[in-house]
Structure 1
Amino acid sequence: MNQPERAAEVRRIMEGTPPHVPPELYAEAVRRGTRVLHRRTTARRLMWLLLTLAAVAFTVWAVTVQPWAQPPSDTTPPLDGW
């Protein structure tokens, strides 16, 4: 099927009457859509919670360890000129 034939077929389908949808299909689609929406919302909230906990844990670690400070020297500098 080439491009003009495909376009003509699509045009014929679009101009026709839409097929009848069973009434129970609407309720099933709404139920599934609601379930998917709740799952996405729960997953998004869980990810934000994990991100917040990771940020708090990193902040607590950084404040207690202070990785930006130099550790104290274990040796004393040599005394010259005595």
Structure 2
Amino acid sequence: MSLPDRKEAEARLLLERRTGEPVPADLAARALADGERLLRRRRALRTALWAGLVVGLAALVAWSLALHPWAAPPPTTTSPAVGW
């Protein structure tokens, strides 16, 4: 038997031997609740990240409007006297 044939034969054997194991009656409801909880958490995290980004951007804009970081600093020395 070649390798793919052996794997296929093992899979068929497992499927044929499979017993009908009982599934809990509330499995679908629990899966639905878990999925909804996961989606709520992801949505809350995404909202928090976007809110943090917007707050950070607003703080950057407010800082730049208040301090004008692009302007040249005022000179600290006087210019030389003219006419000497």
Moved over 6 A (4+): none
Q: Percent identity?
A: 37
Aligned residues: 79
Structure 1 gaps, min length 5: none
* Cα separation, 2, equivalents of 1:60 and 1:3: 67
Structure 2 gaps, min length 5: none
RMSD across aligned positions (CA): 2.6
Per the TM alignment, residue 23 of structure 1 is displaced from its structure 2 partner at its CA by 2.6
Structure 1 residue identity aligned to 2:7: R
Structure 2 residue identity aligned to 1:34: E
Query: 1:32-72 deviations in whole A, cap 9, x for unaligned?
Result: 00000001001100110000000000000011111100011
Question: Normalising to structure 1: TM-score of the pair?
Answer: 0.77
- Shift in CA distance, 81/45, structure 1 to aligned 2, threshold 3 Å: same
Residue number in structure 1 paired with 2:55 = 53
